Copies of this chain bind each other. A is one copy, B any other.
């Protein structure tokens, strides 16, 4: 693999796992007042469409990365709706 591919893989890995700290924080503190509801509605929708697109074009990296990201962003959305 080219060194450029490693940068792409690092980018994909970091952006995918970047959403876990918000889920953990919201889960622990039960406070989500400063988190934007609109952002998480849009983000979860967009990531779901990326996942759908990945399934349609049968692209494994797209499917994997967006499945994981969807779980985290949707969880944050549920916590935001729950805690307000």
Contact = CB atoms under 8 A, between A and B. Distances in A.
B7 A53 contact: yes
A36 B32 CA distance: 10
A56 B21 contact: no
Given A4-B56, A25-B34, A32-B34, A50 B17 contact: no
B36 A33 contact: no
Nearest to A25: B36
Given A34-B31, A34-B33, A46-B11, A39 B53 contact: no
State which size class the interface on A falls in: 35 or more
Interface string A7-41: 11011111111111110111001011111111100
A49 B47 CA distance: 19
Contact of A36 (B13, B22, B46): B22
Contacts of A13: 46
